[in-house]
């Protein structure tokens, strides 16, 4: 959908039947790692399977600003002539990175290993998202660009963007990092190590969150010819020799995006098969494992090397540590509305530092849907609906249920009176919009406010969801 045509809200309806095949867009997490690696790698590379969301667009725009030679061949592919070295500039460069945590954290590390003056900034919410632990780990390694000026400085609030780096690169040495807020801090440092001027060891001094994302970084660095030595307390780059581009790389479909279709199948019957995600995908140990959560809840699940198929079953509430699946945990939170018995999600404290405070936002919107929700510092307990979705729907209106006379999953105009829908605030957070679509598919009269926020990672989300509705 053309962004200028987004309505202020979408009404979500329960489909008559829901089945088919879907290939989600490429993984933003992978794309925003391989794009800067390709930029600093030796040789040329063709990248395919790139998602079209805002975060990837911001990364590509930032690389253009850094004078990287990028030829956008199609909306999902590009050819990059790698520089074969870290970035360098004789003039100050300012990068505006929106609300993209991956752009901010990954480029902070790579630009610290570069030469020149770089300022990284974003929207107001980005200025509220912490950067301090990453910068504290970079500080002892930075070689200042000017003798009388700090190599790094914060423009407004210490520990938060905007950040200015005035650097001649990273020296050899040992540093430490607190990884308890975000695995992206770890990735930001690791990506920079092969560009350092000598061996560097990064020690992690606290519990790591979302460890599978660090494993993803390490796997991609190996593909780019820069393996790391993993130790009990961290990582060492023994021989920093930069990166070498493979001639071609295809970004795998995004398992986080896949989770919405798999969960919808668990609600609406199915079968739905997601192509490109399975037990052989790079993110299987992380977000890709959401299918196993559905199976634990009672859905019928078939997992192959590159496909996952889900059909509905009787869903039961579960208690589960979602540290390795922080994004798909949001899908589970909404699915919990329709389970028998409570669901408790633990180890999700890093939600508070995402596009919004996702713990508070999720608790608020789930309560609107009729759930009893208890919010902890890093956990969420969800007591599901006290009545079935269809009974709740019928109690709100004398009109027939939308599922009896429409195939539309979403529409810009209501089928009921507007005040009979539950307004879901999305907090300009793409995953809030996508996750709460499930509440409507399950039978609740849902109105998604600001649906255009899905452009961050998945502009075609609503259209693709509609495509699985069948006669």
Number of other CB atoms surrounding residue 310 within 10 Å: 27
Give 3-state DSSP helix, strand, coil % of the chain, rounded to 5. Answer: 35, 25, 40
pLDDT above 90 coverage of the chain, percent: 87
- Among the listed residues 178, 254, 323, 327, the single catalytic one is 327
Instruction: Give tens-digit pLDDT for 342-352.
Output: 999 999 998 99
Residue 389: pLDDT over 50: no
Instruction: Give tens-digit pLDDT for 72-114.
Output: 999 999 999 999 999 999 999 999 999 999 999 999 999 999 9
pLDDT value of residue 470: 74
Q: How confident is the model at residue 393 (pLDDT cuts 50, 70, 90)?
A: very low
> Hey, do 3-25+253-466 and 28-250 end up sharing a CATH topology, with the first three levels equal?
yes
Q: How confident is the model at residue 241 (pLDDT cuts 50, 70, 90)?
A: very high
CA–CA distances in Å: residue 97 to residues 32, 208, 297, 425, 463: 12, 25, 38, 24, 27
Run of H or E including 64: helix 54-65
Residue 2: pLDDT over 90: no
Residue 173: pLDDT over 60: yes
Residue 133: pLDDT over 90: yes
Q: What is the mean pLDDT of residues 221-244?
A: 96
Residue 368: pLDDT over 70: yes
Question: Is residue 464 annotated as part of the catalytic site, yes or no?
Answer: no
Report whether 106 contacts 134 (CB < 8 A): no
Can you tell me whether residue 54 is helix, strand or coil? helix
Run of H or E including 238: none
pLDDT value of residue 386: 67
Residue 33: pLDDT over 80: yes
Can you tell me whether residue 92 is helix, strand or coil? coil
Q: DSSP string covering 159-196, please?
A: TSS-EEEEEEEE-SEEEEE--SS-HHHHHHHHHHGGGS
Give the residue extent of every domain in the chain. Answer: 3-25+253-466, 28-250
> What pairing do the DSSP bridges indicate for beta strands 116-121 and 93-96?
parallel
CATH number of 28-250: 3.65.10.10
pLDDT value of residue 401: 45
Number of other CB atoms surrounding residue 406 within 10 Å: 16
CATH number of 3-25+253-466: 3.65.10.10
pLDDT value of residue 408: 67
């Amino acid at each position: 959908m053309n962004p200028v045509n987004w309505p202020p809200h979408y009404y979500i309806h329960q489909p008559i039947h829901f089945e088919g095949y879907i290939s989600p867009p490429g993984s933003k997490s992978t794309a925003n790692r391989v794009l800067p690696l390709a930029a600093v790698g030796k040789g040329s590379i063709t990248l395919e399977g790139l998602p079209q969301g805002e975060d990837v667009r911001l990364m590509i725009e930032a690389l253009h600003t850094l004078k990287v030679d990028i030829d956008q061949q199609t909306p999902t592919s590009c050819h990059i002539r790698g520089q074969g070295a870290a970035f360098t500039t004789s003039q100050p460069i300012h990068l505006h990175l929106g609300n993209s945590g991956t752009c901010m954290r990954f480029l902070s590390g790579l630009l610290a290993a570069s030469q020149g003056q770089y300022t990284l900034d974003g929207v107001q919410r980005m200025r509220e998202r912490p950067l301090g632990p990453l910068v504290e780990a970079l500080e002892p390694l930075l070689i200042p660009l000017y003798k009388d000026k700090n190599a790094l400085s914060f423009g407004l609030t210490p520990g938060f963007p905007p950040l200015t780096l005035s650097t001649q690169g990273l020296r050899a040495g040992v540093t430490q990092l607190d990884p308890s807020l975000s695995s992206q801090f770890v990735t930001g440092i690791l990506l920079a190590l092969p560009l350092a001027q000598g061996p560097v060891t990064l020690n992690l001094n606290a519990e790591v969150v979302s460890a599978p994302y660090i494993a993803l970084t390490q796997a991609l660095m190996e593909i780019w010819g820069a393996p790391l030595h993993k130790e009990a307390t961290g990582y060492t780059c023994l021989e920093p020799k930069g990166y070498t581009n493979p001639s071609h790389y295809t970004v795998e479909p995004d398992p986080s995006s896949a989770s919405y279709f798999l969960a919808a199948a668990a609600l609406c019957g199915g079968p739905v098969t997601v192509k490109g995600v399975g037990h052989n995908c790079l993110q299987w140990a992380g977000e890709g494992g959401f299918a196993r959560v559905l199976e634990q809840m009672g859905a019928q699940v078939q997992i192959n090397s590159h496909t996952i198929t889900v059909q509905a079953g009787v869903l039961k509430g579960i208690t589960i540590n979602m540290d390795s699946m922080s994004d798909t945990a949001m899908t589970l939170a909404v699915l919990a509305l329709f389970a028998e018995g409570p669901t408790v999600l633990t180890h999700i404290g890093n939600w508070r530092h995402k596009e919004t405070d996702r713990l508070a936002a999720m608790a608020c919107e789930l309560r609107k849907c009729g759930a009893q929700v208890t919010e902890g510092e890093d956990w969420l307990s969800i007591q599901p609906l006290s009545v079935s979705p269809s009974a709740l729907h019928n109690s709100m209106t004398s009109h027939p249920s939308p599922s009896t006379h429409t195939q539309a999953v979403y529409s810009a105009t209501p089928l009921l009176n507007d005040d009979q829908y539950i307004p879901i605030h999305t907090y300009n957070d793409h995953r809030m919009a996508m996750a709460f679509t499930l509440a409507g598919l399950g039978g609740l009269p849902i109105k998604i406010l600001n649906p255009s926020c899905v452009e961050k990672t998945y502009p075609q989300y609503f259209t693709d969801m509609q495509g699985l509705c069948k006669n």
